[in-house]
């Protein structure tokens, strides 16, 4: 990944003043970084999408630059906007393809920002799908009644056996098994339309 050119004079104030020369210098310095992030193969963007996302990034930077307080934070600021805009576009594409349900939200301060764009272990498509499925599972669990949530917690989180749950709940073992089975069926019904995570 290309490193932004060194700045020999403070840059933020002229940018805030809207000076064209300052913005020209900014794009010369950070344009290669923006292009590298947008062109990362794992986004799966075609040429026209890359151009569109890059333009959206430049617009987002002009709208957000006033929140930047430190010259030293400029590179991180640009990277964060690049990642956020790429993630937003990828989410939109996956939803349009029917591969994601519009559930949950990925925090701007989450793992996306912390992962190096050059790290081959990071696959944004896989991470998005996994994150959406996890959020959907949490929502499905939250929609269950209290006893059903407690049953799942006892069996999966606490690791209790059917017999141990039956003793605690004072129920027949067969009743515990049938209740757990019905609860899992309800969860499957709510999650069956979600995609499987892509294979690495």
Spans of all domains in the chain: 12-114, 143-191
Q: What percent of the chain has pLDDT over 70?
A: 70
Instruction: Give tens-digit pLDDT for 38-94.
Output: 998 878 888 999 999 999 999 998 888 887 766 557 788 888 899 889 988 888 887
- CATH number of the domain at 12-114, please? 1.10.1740
For residue 31 the two structure tokens come to: 């344009």
Instruction: Give tens-digit pLDDT for 147-182.
Output: 988 999 899 888 889 999 999 999 999 999 999 999
Quote the distance between the C-alpha of residue 119 and its chain's center: 16
| Three-class SS state of 100 | coil
For residue 134 the two structure tokens come to: 């996890």
Does this model's pTM top 0.85? no
Considering only the C-alpha atoms of the chain, give the largest distance between any 2 of them, rounded to a whole number of Å: 78
Closest CA relative to residue 76, chosen from 119, 44, 108, 39 = 108
Q: Which CATH number is correct for 143-191, 3.90.1070.10, 1.10.10.10, 3.30.2320.50, 3.40.50.300? A: 1.10.10.10
Identical fold between 12-114 and 143-191 = no
């Amino acid at each position: 990944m290309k490193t932004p050119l060194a700045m020999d004079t403070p840059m933020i104030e002229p940018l805030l003043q809207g000076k064209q020369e300052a913005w020209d210098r900014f794009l010369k310095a950070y344009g290669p970084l923006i292009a590298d992030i947008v062109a990362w193969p794992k986004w799966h963007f075609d040429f026209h999408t890359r151009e569109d996302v890059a333009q959206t990034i430049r617009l987002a930077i002009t709208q957000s630059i006033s929140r930047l307080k430190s010259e030293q934070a400029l590179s991180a600021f640009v990277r964060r906007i690049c990642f956020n805009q790429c993630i937003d576009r990828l989410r939109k594409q996956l939803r349009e393809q029917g591969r994601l349900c519009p559930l949950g939200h990925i925090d701007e301060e989450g793992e996306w920002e912390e992962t190096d764009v050059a790290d081959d272990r990071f696959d944004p498509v896989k991470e998005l799908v996994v994150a959406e499925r996890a959020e959907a599972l949490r929502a499905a669990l939250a929609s269950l009644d209290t006893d059903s949530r407690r049953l799942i917690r006892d069996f999966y989180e606490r690791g209790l056996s059917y017999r141990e749950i039956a003793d605690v709940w004072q129920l027949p073992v067969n009743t515990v098994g049938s209740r757990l089975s019905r609860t899992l069926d309800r969860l499957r019904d709510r999650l069956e339309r979600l995609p499987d995570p892509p294979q690495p």
